Amino acid sequence: MHTPVCVQDFETHAFQVLAKGPLDYYKSGAGDQLTLENNRKAFSKLRIRPRCFRDVSTRNLSTTVMGTTVCVPFGIAPTAMQKLAHPDGEIASVRAAEKMGTIFILSTISTTSLEDVAAAAPNAHKWYQLYIYKDREITANLVKRAEAAGFKAIVLTVDSPRFGIRRDDIRNNFKIPPHLTLANFVGDKATNVSRAQSGSGIANYVISLFDPALVWEDIAWLRQLTTLPIVVKGILTAEDAQKAVKMGVSGIMVSNHGGRQVDGVPASIEALPEVVKAVGDQVEVYMDGGIRQGVDVFKALALGAKMVFVGRPNLWGLAYNGEEGATKVLDTLKFELDNVMSLSGCTSIKEVTSDLVVHKSYYSRL
């Protein structure tokens, strides 16, 4: 195996080394996986219109997110159970993010406790991804612990009253291996993903524990628990974006959960413009889904994302070799983004403007 030169190389490697259960869990999308595929293909339908002969001798890739400066406009999306990829799991990821000076979002269903993650990377920009459990005490507890541990935002995932149908997890009767735990819950009733007798263990876990009765008004309940800003994750329509704004959220993450919920929803990058248009300057808009290279980041920024996040690329980096692999993935994206900015005439993130990216249909009118 060659040293990876792009995220796809890390992916190819991970496909070779990971065990079937975890690999399928990581890579799968819902149903026929058309949305999963489209998350990538939709990027290839966007064209960059580069500008030449601007002084690009120095580029500044940093941006601000809710007032805080981050070194690059891409961070790490929350993905569950990262120890399936490498024994260091979430610790390796958060340290890679810390080194890069960017945001790491910890999943509620992580294999490392939020306190351990916080302790391992005290200077990282850490956000905490929240699933709301039927048992509101469990939930409130998580939020308070996250705030106490130094997490800087709550990322409330709104697309998962239950999980999408990921066929390979059902076929594999996917369970969390005995040596791992959902570390945020040690001792309480939300611990166990392995008890499923048949079907997908993770889907059954979600069905039994997550609260499917949530409505937009429940955000008010969350707000009185914490002073942290709230980002809602999983929005794909202008309608929902406006509802979120009305509830006073600080940020919106356009996301289709990596194509893992409903097969048939738009690619995240397809849905981004309508959300950006709907919310205007009221809140910041982020996105994840299908980001694999610098040009993808560039396109998403041009279409109005303030920041983007990568899910699977981080997992492939972990599988390569833990913190070092995760770091290499982020370095690769930075190198690529720096390159496309240089070659498109942009020296700062705010210069990545909407006129630099068009849909390919722009070129079918002669």
Nearest to 252 by CA among 261, 264, 244: 244
Per rule CB under 8 A, count of chain residues that contact a copy of itself: 77
Q: By CB under 8 A, tell whether 179 contacts a copy of itself.
A: no
257 flagged as catalytic: yes
Q: Where are the alpha helices (DSSP H) in 85-135?
A: 89-100, 114-120
**Backbone phi and psi for residue 92, each to the nearest 5 degrees, phi listed first:** -60, -40
- Residues 132-171 touching ligand FMN, rule: CB under 6 A, are 157
Give the interface segment with a copy of itself, choosing from 14-22, 119-127, 144-152, 295-303 (CB under 8 A): 295-303
Burial of 198 (0-12, 13-18, 19+ CB in 10 A): exposed
Amino acid identity of 271? A
Stretch that binds ligand FMN, among 6-14, 183-191, 206-214, 285-293 (CB under 6 A): 285-293
Binding residues for ligand FMN restricted to 309-348, rule: CB under 6 A = 310-312
Nearer to ligand FMN, 98 or 169 (CB): 169
- DSSP, res 3: P
Buried b (16+ CB within 10 A) or exposed e, 86-115: bebbbbbbbbbbbbbbbbbbbbbbbbbbbe
State the binding partner of 293 from a copy of itself, ligand FMN, none, CB within 5 to 8 A by kind.
Answer: a copy of itself
Question: Which whole-number Å values give the CA distances from 100 to 73, 137, 291, 300, 327, in the listed order?
Answer: 11, 35, 17, 20, 8
> Is the distance from CB of 356 to CB of 29 less than 8 angstroms?
no
> Cβ of 342: how many Cβ atoms within 10 Å?
16
Q: What H or E segment, with its residue span, contains residue 358?
A: strand 357-359
Which residues, in sequence order, are bridge partners of residue 365? none
50 is a site residue for a copy of itself (CB under 8 A): yes
* Residue 131 annotated as lining a ligand binding site: yes
**Nearest CA-CA partner of 41 in 266, 235, 253, 222:** 266
- When the beta carbons of 60 and 64 are compared against a copy of itself, the nearer one is 60
Q: How many of the other CB atoms lie within 10 Å of CB of 194?
A: 16
Q: Which of residues 255-284 bind ligand FMN (CB under 6 A)?
A: 255, 257-258, 260
Q: String of b and e for 292-311 (b: at least 16 CB within 10 Å)? A: bbbbbbbbbbbbbbbbbbbb
Binder of a copy of itself out of 187, 213, 224, 227 (CB under 8 A): 213
Binding a copy of itself (rule: CB under 8 A), the pick from 27, 299, 312, 328 is 299
157 labelled ligand-binding: yes
- Window contacting a copy of itself (CB under 8 A); options: 17-25, 98-106, 121-129, 255-263: 255-263
Helix (H) or strand (E) holding 272: helix 268-279
The annotation status of 121 as a binding-site residue, yes or no, is no
Contact 42, 290 (CB under 8 A): yes
**Between vectors from CA 361 to CA 357 and to CA 366, what angle results, nearest 5°?**
110
Report, in Å, the least distance between residue 187 CB and a copy of itself: 27
Which does residue 289 bind out of ligand FMN, a copy of itself, none, counting CB within 5 to 8 angstroms by kind?
A: ligand FMN
Among 33, 93, 112, 129, binds ligand FMN (CB under 6 A): 129
Query: Residue 290 touches which of ligand FMN, a copy of itself, none (CB < 5 to 8 A by kind)?
Result: ligand FMN
H/E element, 254: strand 251-254
Site for a copy of itself in 328-347 (CB under 8 A): 335-336, 339-340, 342-344
- Residues in 141-160 that interact with a copy of itself by CB under 8 A: 158-160
13, 86, 125, 257: the active-site residue: 257
Site for ligand FMN in 29-58 (CB under 6 A): 39
CB of 150 to a copy of itself, least distance (A): 28
Residues tagged in the binding site annotation: 25, 78-80, 107, 129, 131, 157, 166, 233, 255, 257, 260, 288-292, 311-312
Give me the active site residues, please.
Answer: 257
Give the interface with ligand FMN as residue ranges (CB under 6 A).
25-26, 39, 77-80, 107, 109, 129, 157, 233, 255, 257-258, 260, 288-291, 310-312
- Residues flagged as binding site for glyoxylate: 25, 131, 166, 257, 260
